[in-house]
Structures are given as structure tokens and as C-alpha cells.
């Protein structure tokens, strides 16, 4: 279909409003207009989606299936318009309708189906998969409650439920014909030498497809999200006995499986439901993959030729025993053949080295919920360990370390080990992280399977993180880069290197940054009633609140600066606005305390007239993809200050640099590669390296020594712990900096951080030099496109080819 004009689109929107939604245009609310417009937009991507699907089938394309418990998609509407190339036409259509287009777009809920980096990465990858024309499909869970909404009340986080489906319109396609039965519990019997699982609980998985359009139209791939439905509407026995409540209680508990997204610090309580969620996703998805294969090909034995399944962290790793179960118990394939198929089909990404995030499940729990899978895991383990023993190169100690069953902590199943043993490729998400992975948690496995381990540095999609988030930068780049579209060829940005010092280019870039800062300032003013100076340096740290990310170190710098301004008010201080945003998992005590500290410090400093607005501290509540889209373009400086060795990659660092902000960061995660690309003059690196951090730990870390030796540090620590920022409750923060433990070594990095911040001030004072650095950051971010990451996955891990122009001609 040719690209529709504004008039056609206007008609389509009005048609949807009247005939699909049944609403009189005279009475329609903005939200109803949005719903109508989304239906009109969906028609365009639906067409692409059906053609893409047909092209896959007709050409027998090998597919990749991306399994993830989280997809942080962000709003869909504007993304669809941009990727389909009809943004201007929709804008014009609403003009004709006498409606403010931006207000309509703001009506859309931002689906928060993820915690943070891992979920957002999955969303960037879906965008790149469709854009690169890769035959792919995502599988996830359609949580009824996504990530909670955060309010800040009296400086503290308050969680409110996120009922994102409340005003739902039919944007996703319900697939009532795609239902799978997910079974739990019961026992395993040996029927004539064949294992048979007799489960005693059953839940139904229903599919909803969210269509992900690629940039440039033509290709659209599905993200299939599962929702739990009670197997039987209710227990007829109970009902007949007159016990209506018992009859529906079972239904409610079954449907709890997809009720809520788990926070990433999840404590032991509720773990059983999490395991059920993971299996629910995996079982529905693997059944669907097998069904799709059987629909297209005559023999299940060719599955490994036609399908790659990627495991986004260990959360979906039960897919391995689930596929084994289906192949052996249902398809009658012999064990070793099934196992060889699995090892070819699966690959796994590790996203964190933090020991508390490495999943293990009690054997007892697995036995109760999934006895047949436990059996299979034992068989896999025996097969693997027997092969090792037969090789004769490994001692008992080594064998017990690599066993899937951890016998030392009350018999637990190590999901990371299962992922490594059942995958043909395992990757980390940034060079330093992949190296550490091989040298630390998976060191034993790297000896057994050296060829399996690899790196794919993360990336971000320039469609959302420039085109949608930063319209001024988009116009600037369109003007400067010419011919090849940077949205598809982000390496084109390198052309900016040669004009980075050009005064005219700098002036234009400065206007771009100013516009984004004004937009953020307006948001802050309207939402929080705080006025910020847009000439000030915007210093931003937005991410999940976690001790390892060291928001507290940022606060320590703010307090130190406050002290020094009071001491020396007439010095030439660079005004700064410190901006924070981020959610703390609701059960994470220390993270919540850090939020409160930031807000107490903000209140104290913002209200101190002696500071004359040289410092403003702003905590923007309810961080989300949509909020990131407003904040990131406005940043001058971004804080990536995790303790070296703790942040696997980070992806906001890439988004910021792409929007012309300069990094202050440690040699951690992807900061290392950003530094490599932009050079040390345009990126502020401070603090100890991974090796130094380890050496300090080895020798016995002495945080008090740092405090004793450094007057500024001592003053800051005392102020926090003695209640300078919480006079109404002086002891409020005496447990925050934990000078006796300081696991994340804030004290060790404090001096280097403060000194580096002073260099940043000097650099910013020379605006021409700063703009040049900002432009050089943008110019060298081409590598961090998620298109590059996905191309690497396709080439080195999934062995997948894109649809060619012949297989699917461009539609528009």
C-alpha cells in the first residue's frame, strides 16, 4: 500500500472513532481520540506484519525466538508513526481535526513491563530485529500490573499500582485461538520404562500479540505476551455445594501467575509464584515454537535447523528442560538426540555478575511444582558430569563446583549452570563484563567449553533515543548528515567529527541542547514547582536506585560542593542542576533510604538562600521510558559511577552520549568502550579500576582510613550521619554510609570523583570546548546502535539471515 496522506488518515481516525469505538466525535475525549488514532496506525503495521509472516513461511526462513521475562517497550504510538514514516501525516490529520497532537500522544500509558536495563535492552533489540528484517519473534508475559508507579511523599518513595491496561484499547491483537495448557505439580510415574508426568494443576496461557514495526516500514514482527487464565472457570463441586467463594478462589490463584512483575531484588517470600511465572512463560512459548515448526515443516527433528531460542538472562532457562520434555515425552525422540538439538537451539545472555541476582531454586520446590523437569535436570547433570569424569581431567572438587545441583546450600538448582550447559553460546553485554564473566562466575565452564563464551556489547535504538526523544537533534542530524539515513546507518554520525570545532555547527547544536533543557525545565516546573536555570550545567543520574550504582557518591559530591560554596561564596562557581530519577525495589531498605537522603539534601540546599541557585537538586518521580525520553536529551553531564566491576554494561550511558552529554564515570561496563570511542579528552573517567578494587579487597579495605585522611570526606560523612540534612530526626542516616563496611568503596573513590568534578566545571566554563566534546560524543556513538548488536547476534550466535528485498519487497 502506498503511504497514506493526511486526509486519508483523518478519515480513518474518524471512522475508527465512530464505527469501532462507537463514540460521537463531538463528545470524544483526548484519550478516545488517541485510541481511534492508534487503531488507524495499527492498520498500517498489521499489513506489514501479515506480509512479513507470509514471507517467512514462503521462504522457509530460520527464525530467532527471544524469550524474556521483561520488555520495557515505552509508548507504542509515536514509535509506530515514525517507523512507518507517517508521523507528519498524523500530525496534519489532527491539525485538520482541530486537536493538539502532542496532547493526544501524551494520553498513552507507558507499559512498564520491566525493571530496568534488561527489559529496555529487549525492547531496543525488538526494534532492531524488525528494522534489520530479521525473522524474529519475542515472547514475554503480559503482566496485569507492570512496574509500580512511584510517588515521592515527604521525600520518601511510595509505591502505587500500575494498572496500565485500565484504559486499554485493542492495540494488541488478542489471539483466542492460541491457547496452551500449562501444567504443574503431581508426580512422575514409570510406565513401561517410559517416564510419564501426571500433573495435578492446569492453567491456560492466552496469547496477545504486540506488533513491533521496523523502521522504514515493510517488516513487522510479533511480540507474543502470555496471560494466565484459570483452566476451569471455577470448581463446579464447590459451586454445587453452595460455596461460591471457594469456587472462584482457585481461579484467582491461577490467574495470579501473570498478575504482577517481580522487582529485581525479590526476597524469598513469593518465590514460588516467581518460579511459576518463569515456567508459565517458558512452557507456553516452547509449545508455541514447536507448534509453529510442525505447521511449517514435516519433521520435528529439523527444529534446530529452523529455530534459535535466546534466553534473556537465566529467567527463562527452564525452556531447556521443557523442550527436552516435549521432544522426549511427547515427540518420542531419543534422549541424546533431543539433548544435541537443545544445545544447538539455545543461547544465553548473562546480564549481571552480582551474586544475589544469580538464580537458584530449591530442589524441593522444583520437585513439588515441576517433578518431570527436575528429573530431566538430573539427567542433564548426570550426562554432563559423566562426560567430564570420563575425560579424566577434572577432580572431585571441580566436578562439585560445576554440578547443576549445589549441595552446599540445602540442595539448590543453579540456573546459570543449566543455561551454560544447555547453550551453544553464552555472551556478556560489554567487553569488560564478558571478560569478568569468563574469569569469575563461569571460570570453570570456560575451561570446559572455551568456544562457547563470547561478547556482544549492548546497543540502543537511535529511532527511539534520538528520533522520538529529541526532535531538535533529529532535525540537526538530518541537515548535517545527508544521503544515507543515520537512523539506519548510525556510523554516519562520524561525519560530525570534522565539524565539531566549527562555530556555526556548535551554535546550532547549542540551540538543540537549549531546546531540550527548556523542555525538561518546563516539566520540572509544572510537575514539581521548582524553577531551574537552563544555563546551569545539567548533571544527571537516572537509573534504578541501587547501592552498587552509588547514587550516594553523587550526593556526597553535592554536599561537598555545598560546603565549599558556603566557605568561599565569591569564587567563580559553575551553577549546576543535579537531576535524579529512579525507582527502588519496594523491599530494598537501603535504596529507599538513599532516595530519602537525596530529597532531604535537595530540600536543605534548594531552600538555603546563601546558595543563590548555584546548586539545585531535583528528584523527578516515577522514572519510566517516557520520562527518560524527556530527561536524556537535556543532560550536559551523565553520571555512570558504579563501582568498577559491578555494572555489566549500562545502556543509558549510550543514550546520553548519543544526545551530546559527556560522561563522568568509572572504568565499568560499556563506559570502557565509550571512552575508547570518544577519547579521554571528551569523557571523564575517575576512580579505581577493577584490578584496584580487587587489590583493595584482598589487602583488607579500610574505609575509615580514607575518612581520617581526607578533611572534605570526613566533613560530608559527619554531616550525613549527624543529621545536618534531617534535623528533625538526626539519626535518620546513621546507617547509610556504613563506614565500617562500605562494600561499594565510596570512600576509596571519593577524592578522585571530587577532583574530576572540578575538571568538569572548568571544561563547561569554556562553552566552545564543551560543545566540541559533546559533538564528538555524538559523532562516535555509531557503534552503540542496537542494530550493530543484533547484527552480531545474528552472525555469531543465532546464524540467522535477514529477509532479502526479493523475499519481501519494500511496501512504502
Q: Which of 351, 424, 561, 583 is catalytic?
A: 351
- In the complex, the smallest distance separating the C-beta of residue 571 from ligand 26V, rounded to whole angstroms, is 37
Report the distance separating Cα 496 and Cα 481, nearest Å: 8
Q: How many CB atoms lie within 10 A of CB 765?
A: 12
352 is known as an active-site residue: no
Q: Could you say whether residue 669 binds ligand 26V (CB under 6 A)?
A: yes
Residue closer to ligand 26V (CB basis): 588 or 764: 588
Q: Could you say whether residue 650 binds ligand 26V (CB under 6 A)?
A: yes
Judged by CB under 6 A, the residue of 352, 457, 461, 785 near ligand 26V is 352
DSSP reduced 3-state for 662? strand
Q: Could you say whether residue 786 binds ligand 26V (CB under 6 A)?
A: no
504 is known as an active-site residue: no
Q: Could you say whether residue 121 binds ligand 26V (CB under 6 A)?
A: yes
The sign of the torsion formed by the CA atoms of 60, 62, 67, 73 equals: negative
C-alpha cell at 67: 524469550
Distances, alpha carbon 737 to alpha carbons 686, 703, 719, 743, 745, in Å? 20, 10, 11, 10, 10
* Site for ligand 26V, residues 301 to 320, rule: CB under 6 A: 313
544 is known as an active-site residue: yes
Residue listed under C-alpha cell 470448581: 235
Strand order in the sheet with 360-362: 360-362, 412-414, 405-406
- In the complex, the smallest distance separating the C-beta of residue 263 from ligand 26V, rounded to whole angstroms, is 6
Judged by CB under 6 A, the residue of 12, 52, 109, 115 near ligand 26V is 115
Residue listed under C-alpha cell 570534522: 498
Q: Produce one character per residue of 565-586: b if its CB has 16 or more CB atoms within 10 Å, e if not.
A: beeeeeeebbbbbbbbbbbbbe
- Total residues contacting ligand 26V by CB under 6 A comes to 21
Q: Could you say whether residue 604 binds ligand 26V (CB under 6 A)?
A: no
Judged by CB under 6 A, the residue of 51, 224, 351, 513 near ligand 26V is 351
Residue closer to ligand 26V (CB basis): 115 or 626: 115
Q: Could you say whether residue 583 binds ligand 26V (CB under 6 A)?
A: no
Q: Which residue minimizes CB distance to ligand 26V?
A: 117
546 is known as an active-site residue: no
Residue closer to ligand 26V (CB basis): 315 or 616: 315
Contact 808, 218 (CB under 8 A): yes
* Site for ligand 26V, residues 217 to 276, rule: CB under 6 A: 262, 264, 266, 274
Q: Which of 517, 549, 550, 771 is catalytic?
A: 549
Contact 227, 235 (CB under 8 A): no
Q: Which of 474, 651, 666, 724 is catalytic?
A: 651
Q: Could you say whether residue 117 binds ligand 26V (CB under 6 A)?
A: yes
- In the complex, the smallest distance separating the C-beta of residue 658 from ligand 26V, rounded to whole angstroms, is 15
Judged by CB under 6 A, the residue of 357, 528, 530, 791 near ligand 26V is 357
Q: How many CB atoms lie within 10 A of CB 24?
A: 9
**Residue 724 main-chain phi, psi, to 5 deg:** -55, -30
How would you classify the pairing of strands 576-581 and 615-619? parallel
Report the distance separating Cα 753 and Cα 739, nearest Å: 18
- In the complex, the smallest distance separating the C-beta of residue 653 from ligand 26V, rounded to whole angstroms, is 9
Residue closer to ligand 26V (CB basis): 128 or 287: 128
Cβ-based burial of 231 (10 A; exposed 0-12, middle 13-18, buried ≥19): middle
Q: Which of 543, 546, 596, 682 is catalytic?
A: 543
Specify the DSSP element, H or E, that contains 576.
strand 576-581
Among 75, 80, 30, which Cα is nearest to 628's?
Answer: 75
Which one of 1-9, 32-40, 115-123, 738-746 is the stretch in contact with ligand 26V (CB under 6 A)?
115-123
Which one of 116-124, 678-686, 761-769, 774-782 is the stretch in contact with ligand 26V (CB under 6 A)?
116-124
Residue closer to ligand 26V (CB basis): 6 or 357: 357
Q: Could you say whether residue 64 binds ligand 26V (CB under 6 A)?
A: no
- In the complex, the smallest distance separating the C-beta of residue 15 from ligand 26V, rounded to whole angstroms, is 41
Residue closer to ligand 26V (CB basis): 147 or 380: 147
655 is known as an active-site residue: yes
DSSP, residue by residue, 288-327: HHHHHHHHH-S-GGGHHHHEEEEEESSTTTTHHHHHHHII
Residue closer to ligand 26V (CB basis): 349 or 724: 349
Judged by CB under 6 A, the residue of 118, 205, 524, 641 near ligand 26V is 118
Report the distance separating Cα 523 and Cα 543, nearest Å: 19
Within 8 A by CB and 6+ apart from 130, the residues are 83, 136, 212, 213, 214, 215, 219, 220, 221
Q: Could you say whether residue 641 binds ligand 26V (CB under 6 A)?
A: no
Contact 119, 235 (CB under 8 A): no
Among 86, 222, 54, 216, which Cα is nearest to 810's?
Answer: 216
- In the complex, the smallest distance separating the C-beta of residue 312 from ligand 26V, rounded to whole angstroms, is 9
Which amino acids are annotated catalytic? Answer: 351, 543-544, 549, 651, 655
Residues near ligand 26V (CB under 6 A) are 115-118, 121, 262, 264, 266, 274, 313, 351-352, 357, 429, 458, 647-651, 669
Amino acid at each position: 500500500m502506498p503511504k497514506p496522506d493526511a486526509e486519508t488518515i483523518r478519515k480513518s481516525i474518524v471512522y475508527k472513532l465512530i464505527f469501532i469505538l462507537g463514540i460521537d466525535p463531538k463528545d470524544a475525549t483526548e484519550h478516545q481520540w488517541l485510541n481511534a488514532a492508534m487503531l488507524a496506525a495499527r492498520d498500517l503495521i498489521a499489513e506489514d506484519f501479515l506480509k512479513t509472516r507470509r514471507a517467512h513461511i514462503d521462504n522457509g526462513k530460520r527464525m530467532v525466538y527471544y524469550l524474556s521475562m521483561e520488555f520495557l517497550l515505552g509508548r507504542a504510538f509515536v514509535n509506530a508513526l515514525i517507523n512507518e514514516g507517517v508521523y507528519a501525516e498524523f500530525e496534519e490529520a489532527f491539525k485538520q481535526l482541530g486537536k493538539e497532537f502532542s496532547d493526544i500522544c501524551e494520553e498513552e500509558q507507558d507499559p512498564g513491563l520491566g525493571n530496568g536495563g534488561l527489559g529496555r535492552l529487549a525492547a531496543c533489540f525488538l526494534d532492531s530485529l524488525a528494522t534489520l528484517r530479521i525473522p524474529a519473534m519475542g515472547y514475554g508475559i503480559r503482566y496485569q500490573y507492570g512496574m509500580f508507579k512511584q510517588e515521592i511523599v515527604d521525600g520518601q518513595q511510595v509505591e502505587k499500582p500500575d494498572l496500565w491496561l485500565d484504559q486499554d484499547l485493542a492495540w494488541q491483537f488478542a489471539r483466542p485461538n492460541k491457547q496452551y495448557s500449562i501444567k504443574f505439580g503431581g508426580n512422575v510415574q514409570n510406565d513401561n520404562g517410559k517416564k510419564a508426568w501426571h500433573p495435578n494443576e492446569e492453567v491456560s496461557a492466552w496469547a496477545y500479540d504486540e506488533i513491533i514495526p521496523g523502521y522504514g516500514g515493510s517488516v513487522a514482527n510479533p511480540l507474543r505476551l502470555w496471560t494466565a487464565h484459570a483452566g476451569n472457570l471455577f470448581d463446579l463441586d464447590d459451586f454445587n455445594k453452595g460455596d461460591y467463594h471457594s469456587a472462584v478462589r482457585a481461579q484467582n490463584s491461577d490467574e495470579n501467575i501473570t498478575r504482577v512483575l517481580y522487582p529485581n531484588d525479590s526476597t524469598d517470600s513469593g518465590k514460588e509464584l516467581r518460579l511459576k511465572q518463569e515456567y508459565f512463560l517458558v512452557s507456553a512459548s516452547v509449545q508455541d515454537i514447536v507448534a509453529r515448526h510442525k505447521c511449517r515443516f514435516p519433521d520435528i527433528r529439523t527444529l534446530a535447523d529452523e529455530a534459535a531460542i535466546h534466553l534473556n538472562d537465566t529467567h527463562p532457562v527452564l525452556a531447556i528442560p521443557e523442550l527436552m520434555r516435549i521432544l522426549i515425552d511427547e515427540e518420542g525422540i531419543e534422549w541424546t538426540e533431543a539433548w544435541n538439538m537443545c544445545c544447538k537451539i539455545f543461547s544465553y545472555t548473562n546480564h549481571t555478575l552480582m551474586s544475589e541476582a544469580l538464580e537458584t531454586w530449591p530442589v524441593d520446590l522444583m520437585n513439588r511444582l515441576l517433578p518431570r523437569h527436575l528429573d530431566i535436570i538430573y539427567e542433564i547433570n548426570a550426562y554432563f558430569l559423566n562426560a567430564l569424569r570420563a575425560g579424566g581431567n577434572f577432580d572431585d572438587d571441580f566436578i562439585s563446583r560445576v554440578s547443576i545441583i549445589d549441595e552446599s546450600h540445602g540442595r539448590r538448582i543453579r540456573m546459570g549452570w543449566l543455561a551454560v550447559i544447555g547453550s551453544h553460546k553464552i555472551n556478556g553485554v560489554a567487553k569488560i563484563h564478558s571478560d569478568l564473566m569468563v574469569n569469575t562466575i563461569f571460570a570453570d565452564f570456560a575451561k570446559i567449553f572455551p568456544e562457547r563464551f563470547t561478547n556482544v556489547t549492548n546497543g540502543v535504538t537511535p529511532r527511539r533515543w534520538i528520533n522520538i526523544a529529541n526532535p531538535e537533534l533529529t532535525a540537526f542530524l538530518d541537515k548535517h548528515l545527508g544521503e544515507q539515513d543515520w537512523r539506519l546507518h548510525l556510523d554516519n554520525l562520524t561525519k560530525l567529527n570534522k565539524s565539531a570545532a566549527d562555530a556555526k555547527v556548535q551554535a546550532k547544536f547549542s540551540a538543540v541542547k537549549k531546546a531540550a533543557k527548556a523542555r525538561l525545565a518546563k516539566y520540572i516546573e509544572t510537575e514539581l514547582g521548582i524553577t531551574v536555570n537552563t544555563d546551569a550545567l545539567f548533571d544527571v543520574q537516572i537509573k534504578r536506585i541501587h547501592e552498587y550504582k552509588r547514587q550516594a557518591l553523587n550526593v556526597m559530591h553535592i554536599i561537598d560542593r555545598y560546603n565549599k560554596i558556603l566557605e568561599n561564596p565569591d569564587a567563580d562557581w559553575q551553577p549546576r542542576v543535579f537531576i535524579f530519577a529512579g525507582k527502588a525495589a519496594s523491599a530494598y531498605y537501603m535504596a529507599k533510604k538513599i532516595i530519602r537522603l537525596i530529597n532531604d539534601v535537595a530540600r536543605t540546599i534548594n531552600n538555603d538562600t546563601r546558595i543563590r541557585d548555584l546548586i539545585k537538586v531535583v528528584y523527578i518521580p516515577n522514572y519510566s521510558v517516557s520520562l527518560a525520553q524527556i530527561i536524556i536529551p537535556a543532560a550536559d553531564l551523565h553520571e555512570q559511577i558504579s563501582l568498577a566491576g559491578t555494572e555489566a554494561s549500562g545502556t543509558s550511558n549510550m543514550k546520553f552520549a548519543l544526545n551530546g552529554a559527556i560522561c563522568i564515570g568509572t572504568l565499568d561496563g560499556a563506559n570502557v568502550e565509550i571512552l575508547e570511542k570518544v577519547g579521554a579528552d571528551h569523557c571523564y573517567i575517575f576512580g579505581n579500576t577493577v584490578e584496584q578494587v580487587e587489590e583493595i579487597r584482598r589487602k583488607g579495605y579500610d574505609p575509615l582510613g580514607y575518612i581520617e585522611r581526607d578533611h572534605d570526606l570526613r566533613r560530608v560523612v559527619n554531616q550525613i550521619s549527624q543529621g545536618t540534612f534531617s534535623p528533625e530526626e538526626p539519626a535518620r542516616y546513621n546507617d547509610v554510609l556504613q563506614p565500617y563496611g562500605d562494600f561499594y568503596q565510596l570512600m576509596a573513590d571519593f577524592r578522585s570523583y571530587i577532583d574530576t568534578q572540578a575538571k568538569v566545571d572548568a571544561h563547561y566554563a569554556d562553552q566552545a570546548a564543551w560543545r566540541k566534546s559533546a559533538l564528538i560524543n555524538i559523532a562516535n556513538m555509531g557503534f552503540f546502535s542496537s542494530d550493530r548488536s543484533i547484527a552480531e547476534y545474528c552472525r555469531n550466535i543465532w546464524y540467522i539471515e535477514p529477509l532479502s528485498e526479493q523475499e519481501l519487497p519494500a511496501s512504502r
